[in-house]
Structure 1
Amino acid sequence: MDFPPNQGLDQDEVDEHVEETLAENEVVLFMKGTELMPQCGYSRNALGLISEHRDEFETVDVLDSLAEYRAALEAHSGWETIPQTFVDGEFVGGSDILSELEERGELEETLNAA
């Protein structure tokens, strides 16, 4: 069985998509997989934590262009790991940071400050 090479987006397309998504949405989760099928435990955890406090937020599946999304997101956050959560265009953190905010009782306020 042959697998075609990555048919994802090029770096300019990903950069533009990240910029537009951050500008147009209050809360954004860049994750591996989709809301219905998260593809890693960290993405699943972040999705669950955000879902507890927000009904509406945007998710972006980065898997088709993972290297390009890592580069584009690192330019905004200084982090290359995924998932990444942004509120009003500002980087909040990944799954570990969301968990810490939840433990301190600060996640709901952080996500709804938008």
Structure 2
Amino acid sequence: MRTSKAHPVAGWLRVEAGTYSRTLDQVLRHRDEQMAADPNCSGLPPASRAWFWSEQLPRLVSDPKIREQVASRLGELANSRQGIGHQIELQAGALLQQQAEIDDEMALLEQVLA
């Protein structure tokens, strides 16, 4: 299998031309349905996203090359999440330190006023 095109719904997933074409056709059908109900809509139709996650990807993942890409993406997301968690801990730690310093100064000022 030659993976050559970015998937229309999940750009991180590289798929063969036939899969790309069938997926794009489905996205366009979803777009047409959505535009019939809301002519001002834009972007990827929610129906396409739901179809990708609930129907197409579960079928595609039986291909070892697709499965490898999905596993790799999962690892990338886990690393990103961990990095964000670390940033949150650093920021929260710094803010907690600032809050403790403010509490200390407030306590000293309250003692002076008492």
Q: Above 0.5 in TM-score?
A: no
Q: Which has the higher contact order (CA 8 A, sep 6+)?
A: 1
Between structures 1 and 2, the one with greater helix share: 2
Give the TM-score normalised by the residue count of structure 2.
0.21
Q: Which has the higher strand share?
A: 1
Larger Rg computed on CA atoms? 2
